[in-house]
Chains A and B, each alone.
Chain A
Amino acid sequence: MISVNQISKAYGAKKEIPALTSVDFEVSKGELFGLIGPDGSGKTTLFRILTTLILADSGTAAVAGFDVEKDMFKIRNIVGYMPGRFSLYQDLSVRENLEFYATIFNTTIEKNYHLIKDIYVQIEPFANRRAGALSGGMKQKLALCCALIHKPEVLFLDEPTTGVDVVSRKEFWEMLKRLKSEGITILVSTPYMDEAELCDRIALIDKGRILEVATPAALVNTMDSPVWAISTGKVYAAMQLLSSFEGIGEVYPFGESLHAVVDAGFKDTAGLKLRLQKAGIADAEVAIISPTIEDVFMHKMKQAPHA
């Protein structure tokens, strides 16, 4: 449904700031595909290229078989896009905003109400309130409703859940699943690693390069080195110390603890604990954990060339 071949794009007068470098991936029909990467990794640029808003410097891309450069209007007819910097019309009411977006996408609220129902019922009590007078979270929910009110063949969502509370994020992903079950192909980007696991397949992107494309499960399996979790009250000191130890790769904070990628042959958790305690980290606890997508991401990021 979406195919990206060797797409490169650079900004600046002399194209001195690379945004995307030889990006390749395929998204099949009805797939919920996640683009996971930190801020500034090139996610929005990729979205804009795929939604025909900007042209790539080199490479080709197609959406539903239409070339992003030549078949611009054909693509615009069948895709939906929610930009990251999307804003509502502040002086229009909740209902007027929704009605307007429904109309420009050739549909009505009634026709596609089932697609947005779960989230819309929460803002429905404020249907006549101006969008500008809504709370931040409510605004984002309305924006989601506006983006989802039409039923496109392919839906592009650029960081739709940034700034949304945990409960609403969950509801939003439920909504995406429902859309997917209706046969809509969805490309969604997010900086939240926990959301990655909800996708069918994900692409890890960093500094304009795709690091890996796989299902969340397969991605975790690509991790060839064990990951240990070290919990302590002296996080910073422990991190410094661990980095200097032989046989330990990357060390990074993970929630309230530290994660360390260790050499494959390295098995002695008790030994490490002892070493830490000797060095003054008395409360250190070391445990072997199964790696998460974030661990994979951190690992791949360090291994990637030009990183």
Chain B
Amino acid sequence: MTQFKAFIKKEFYHIMRDRKTLLVLIGMPIVQIILFGFALTNEVKNTVLCVADLAKDDMSQALVAEVNASKYFDVKYTIDNVEEADRMLRSGKARMVLVIPKGISYDLRHGHVATLQLITDGTNPNMATTINTYLTSIVRDFRTHHFGKLELPMTIVTIPRMLYNPQLKGEYTFVPGVIAMVLMIICVLMTSVSIVKEKELGNMEMLLVSPTHPLVVILSKAVPYFILSLLLVTIILLMSRFVLHIPIRGNIFLLYGVSGLFIIAALALGLVISTFTNSQQVAMLISLMGMMLPTIMFGGFMFPIENMPLPMQVISNIVPAKWFYYAINDIMIKGLGIEAVLREILILAGFAILFIFISLRKFNLRLA
């Protein structure tokens, strides 16, 4: 036990004294949260809108004011005839032209169908669809606000409601993603590299020929990184709560429990890698290329797995980060309980047991 403590103390010295690495480890999640939160977003904000207000009455002005007030649109140009709309879009000055027909107030107040025309630059289909949706929902809100809900008989109206994330904020999907990615880097990369470093420097030879059991040497490597990982999870959660204002809906203990399970699986994976190589460079390459890339590609937070061809979807099942991402998403964003993530917990536990088993089987009590 004293030996175990001495090892852990030594590992903490290694971590704390390597200031640059520590800075990267702690800075990375912070920078990622800030980048994803404020810079890299797939939301479309401040679309330059051109309005052709042919009505020029109180109702049309109120509508334009409301559109302009939203963060999604910026009414920069107004034109007086529809013919000019083409020129606006062609020159790229505006992405969208809203045409308000004459007599809109009259039509609305007399229960006639009022028609608005939206002309959108469709060169980027995703973006066009998105801004179309935004504007439609603003118009719907406007109508509801002024005339109440239209209860027309024989009319089928779909009223979409976005659960859990009504504003469709991008932050909601990437916070769990950043957690998965950061844990993967720290646990897999750092553990495997730090174990292999002992081998590379020749210290392992001396440590093996000591009364300390080799497994103590290895286990003591995992403990500091386990603690560091939990610390980083806390930093990310605090940042997402207080900087990005994303509520943590689910049980915080469940959240930490699942994170802990994922950390153990990732640490064991780092251990597996360390048993396969004696060089830090190889360990780093395997961890980065072999583990980070699949995590990003198949983790589910960058590219939706549902969009992938079937073989890819099957492959994604062997990426632990995917299950972790699903579980964290369910707990943190949806606020679901343990019964909802039981499958993910079992799969993660299975991964952890498998990796521990492989590393124990592969672990060499001798040098060769």
- Residues of A near any B CB (own CB < 8 A): 48, 51-55, 72-73, 76-77, 79-83, 85-87, 89, 91-92, 96, 99-101, 103-106, 147, 156
Contacts and interface: CB of A to CB of B under 8 A. Distances in A.
A96 B13 contact: yes
B207 A48 contact: no
In the A-B complex, list the 6 residue pairs whose CB atoms are closest, starting with the nearest. A103-B6, A85-B202, A81-B209, A83-B205, A53-B367, A91-B17
A82 B206 contact: yes
B83 interface: no
Interface in B1-42: 2-3, 6-7, 9-10, 13-14, 17-18
Nearest to A92: B13
Interface string B173-217: 000000000000000000000000000011101111111110000
Given A54-B366, A96-B13, A86 B210 contact: no
Given A48-B205, A89-B10, A96-B10, 10 more contacts: A53-B366, A53-B368, A54-B367, A73-B213, A76-B210, A83-B202, A83-B205, A92-B10, A92-B14, A104-B212
Contact of B207 (A82, A91, A104, A106): A104
B228 to A, nearest CB: 16
Interface in B312-368: 365-368
A162 B236 CA distance: 50
Nearest to A103: B6
B211 A91 contact: no
Contacts of A73: 213
A162 to B, nearest CB: 14
Contacts of B211: 76-77, 104-106
Contact of A81 (B2, B17, B201, B205): B205
Contact of A104 (B3, B201, B366): B3
Contacts, number: 77
5 contacts: A76-B210, A91-B18, A100-B9, A104-B212, A156-B209
Nearest to B211: A77
Nearest to A158: B205
A55 B202 CA distance: 18
Contacts of A101: 206
B3 A48 contact: no
Contact of B366 (A55, A77, A80, A85): A55
A289 B199 CA distance: 48
A271 to B, nearest CB: 54
Given A91-B13, A104-B6, A86 B367 contact: no
A51 B209 contact: yes
B143 to A, nearest CB: 67
Contacts of B203: 86-87, 89
B202 A86 contact: yes
Contacts of A76: 208-211
Contacts of A81: 205-206, 209
Contacts of A104: 3, 6-7, 207, 210-212
A86 B206 contact: yes
Nearest to B6: A103
A48 to B, nearest CB: 6
A229 to B, nearest CB: 40
B68 to A, nearest CB: 59
Contacts of B212: 104
A79 B208 CA distance: 11
B3 A106 contact: yes
Given A76-B208, A82-B206, A92-B10, A103 B366 contact: no
A294 to B, nearest CB: 29
B368 A54 contact: yes
Contacts of B202: 83, 85-87
B210 A100 contact: no
A53 B205 contact: yes
A72 B364 CA distance: 13
Contacts of A156: 209
A99 B6 CA distance: 9
Contacts of B366: 52-55, 72
B209 A103 contact: no
A104 B2 CA distance: 8
Nearest to A55: B366
A294 B274 CA distance: 44
Contacts of B14: 89, 91-92
A282 to B, nearest CB: 52
Contact of A105 (B18, B210, B365, B368): B210
A85 B207 CA distance: 13
A51 B204 CA distance: 13
B100 to A, nearest CB: 70
Contacts of A83: 202, 205-206
A48 B205 CA distance: 9
Nearest to A51: B209
Contacts of A82: 206
A10 to B, nearest CB: 13
Nearest to B367: A53
Given A87-B202, A89-B203, A52 B209 contact: yes
A235 B213 CA distance: 55
A293 to B, nearest CB: 29
A118 B154 CA distance: 101
A27 to B, nearest CB: 17
Contacts of A147: 206
A86 B201 CA distance: 7
A54 B365 CA distance: 9
B93 to A, nearest CB: 59
Contacts of A100: 6, 9-10
A232 to B, nearest CB: 44
Contacts of B201: 87
A48 B367 contact: yes
A82 B6 CA distance: 20
B97 to A, nearest CB: 64
